[in-house]
Amino acid sequence: NAGVTQTPKFQVLKTGQSMTLQCAQDMNHNSMYWYRQDPGMGLRLIYYSASEGTTDKGEVPNGYNVSRLNKREFSLRLESAAPSQTSVYFCASSDDPGGFGNTEAFFGQGTRLTVV
């Protein structure tokens, strides 16, 4: 019972390098999310996708791009990494076809990214 799977779990990048964080869910959920978590800041929403083929900006989208490849997969790309993007990144998914905003989200295990 995999749930939400993120890869990689750890990554160190040099400033200016690019990388893609991968996320896949096997629960047939419509909605997927990318968050970053910094000390004392809680979970801040970067981008989300309410359904296959749609993506929207969250609270902190600058420096990131996303792709909803299909219903299962939602990737986050850093085109030119900066030290300010050092953080723990979480992918999550939920299923709320009616848009009532009343279903729980399930989280991946997180990716710890360091940009030096």
Partner 1 sequence: QKEVEQNSGPLSVPEGAIASLNCTYSDRVSQSFFWYRQYSGKSPELIMSIYSNGDKEDGRFTAQLNKASQYVSLLIRDSQPSDSATYLCASYNQAGTALIFGKGTTLSVSS
Residues that bind partner 1 (CB under 8 A): 31, 33, 35, 40-45, 48, 50, 56, 58-59, 90, 92, 94, 96, 98-102, 104-105, 107-110
Q: Helix (H, G, I), strand (E, B), or coil: what is residue 36?
A: strand
Residue 26's DSSP bridge partners are: none
Closest Cα to residue 24, out of 102, 115, 93? Answer: 93
Contact (Cβ atoms closer than 8 angstroms) between residue 109 and residue 6: yes
Cβ 70 to partner 1 shortest distance, Å: 19
Compare residues 73 and 96 and give the one whose CB is closer to partner 1. Answer: 96
Residue closer to partner 1, measured from CB, 53 or 99: 99
